[in-house]
């Protein structure tokens, strides 16, 4: 990481790498969108990214969206929730987020729906799928997806399902990482065949700073990138995935 470079130049570099990976995979250069992940970074860094053209930011914690929402209200940001969400924080997401990519259980869908009804809003949602056997990784088990989608389509009018999201296994073994992404794409293809009314399967959010080029080869339509744009984070990743404090994440 070049620490002297600005957020704008790192953003440009990441866009170049995304386009390059798409072309290399035989896909259109604009087939993959970028979701910059601003977790732990403050107002100044986010304003710099806004100045460089970013309007959508991913955050891993509801309380962080809440603390950034008012100070940055003038920027017209769409906040995207990408981290594990406790039901008692559903209210913040219902009020402030434009989208959730970490929808991983019915209990959460119901809690969000109740709050969204109160706010008079509907938001886009991606279902987070557990694609690796790492014991503590969040996500809906793939075999539960068809039933889950039918239930959301039938009972949860405020969540518009647009696709799937996953975090790949955190391992140096690239084949294992690729297998996670491939599993998500295959699951998306299966769900498309089921053609559940009211459910879109257009989006696949997969790939982070360390693995996004593999994700793009496997069909990602959206990569979530923090470190390669904003730099390293002060907190260890166990702060974001407290349940796996002993594991080292990328």
Ligand X SMILES: *Cc1c(COP(=O)(O)O)cnc(C)c1O
Residue numbers of the site for ligand X (CB under 6 A)?
37, 39, 60, 82-83, 167, 208-210, 224-228, 240, 250
Q: What is the DSSP string of 129-153?
A: B--S--TT--SB-GGGHHHHHHHHH
Contact 129, 169 (CB under 8 A): no
Instruction: Pick the closer one to ligand X by CB: 193 or 235.
Output: 235
Which helix or strand (DSSP H or E) is residue 24 part of?
Answer: helix 7-24
Least Å from the CB of residue 209 to ligand X: 3
Instruction: Pick the closer one to ligand X by CB: 29 or 236.
Output: 236
Instruction: Pick the closer one to ligand X by CB: 144 or 237.
Output: 237
Q: How far apart are CA 149 and CA 157, in angstroms?
A: 12
Least Å from the CB of residue 133 to ligand X: 18
Instruction: Pick the closer one to ligand X by CB: 188 or 224.
Output: 224
Instruction: Pick the closer one to ligand X by CB: 163 or 226.
Output: 226
134: its two tokens: 């790492």
Looking at the DSSP bridge assignments, the partners of residue 204 are 164
Least Å from the CB of residue 198 to ligand X: 26
Instruction: Pick the closer one to ligand X by CB: 55 or 154.
Output: 55
14, 30, 12: which is closest to 22 by C-alpha? 30
Least Å from the CB of residue 200 to ligand X: 21
Instruction: Pick the closer one to ligand X by CB: 207 or 219.
Output: 207
Least Å from the CB of residue 232 to ligand X: 8
Residues with Cβ < 8 Å from 94, sequence gap 6 or more? 112, 115, 116, 118, 119, 121, 123
Which helix or strand (DSSP H or E) is residue 65 part of?
Answer: helix 62-69
Least Å from the CB of residue 166 to ligand X: 9
Q: How far apart are CA 8 and CA 51, in angstroms?
A: 8
Least Å from the CB of residue 240 to ligand X: 5
Comparing every residue's Cβ against ligand X, the nearest one is 226
245: its two tokens: 């404090």
The Cα-based distances of 111 to 79, 84, 105, 106 in angstroms read 19, 14, 10, 9
């Amino acid at each position: 990481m070049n620490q002297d470079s600005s957020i704008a130049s790192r953003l440009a570099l990441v866009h170049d790498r995304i386009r390059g990976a798409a072309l290399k995979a035989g896909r259109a250069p604009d087939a993959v969108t970028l979701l910059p992940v601003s977790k732990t970074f403050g107002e100044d860094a986010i304003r710099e990214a806004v100045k460089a053209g970013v309007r959508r930011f991913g955050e891993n914690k509801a309380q962080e969206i809440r603390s950034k929402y008012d100070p940055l209200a003038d920027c017209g940001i769409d906040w995207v929730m990408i981290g594990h969400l406790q039901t008692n924080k559903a209210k913040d997401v219902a009020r402030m987020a434009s989208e959730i990519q970490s929808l991983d259980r019915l209990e959460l869908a119901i809690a969000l729906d109740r709050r969204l009804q109160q706010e008079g809003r509907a938001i886009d949602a991606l279902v987070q799928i557990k694609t690796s056997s790492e014991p503590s990784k969040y996500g809906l088990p793939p075999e539960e997806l068809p039933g889950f989608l039918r239930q959301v389509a039938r009972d949860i009018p405020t969540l518009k399902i647009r696709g799937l999201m996953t975090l790949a296994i955190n391992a140096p073994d690239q084949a294992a990482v690729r297998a996670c992404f491939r599993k998500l794409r295959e699951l998306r293809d299966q769900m498309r065949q089921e053609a559940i009314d009211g459910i879109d399967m257009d989006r696949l959010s997969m790939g982070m700073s360390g693995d996004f080029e593999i994700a793009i080869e496997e069909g990602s339509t959206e990569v979530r990138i923090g470190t390669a744009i904003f730099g390293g984070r002060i907190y260890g990743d166990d702060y974001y995935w407290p349940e796996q404090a002993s594991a080292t994440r990328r």
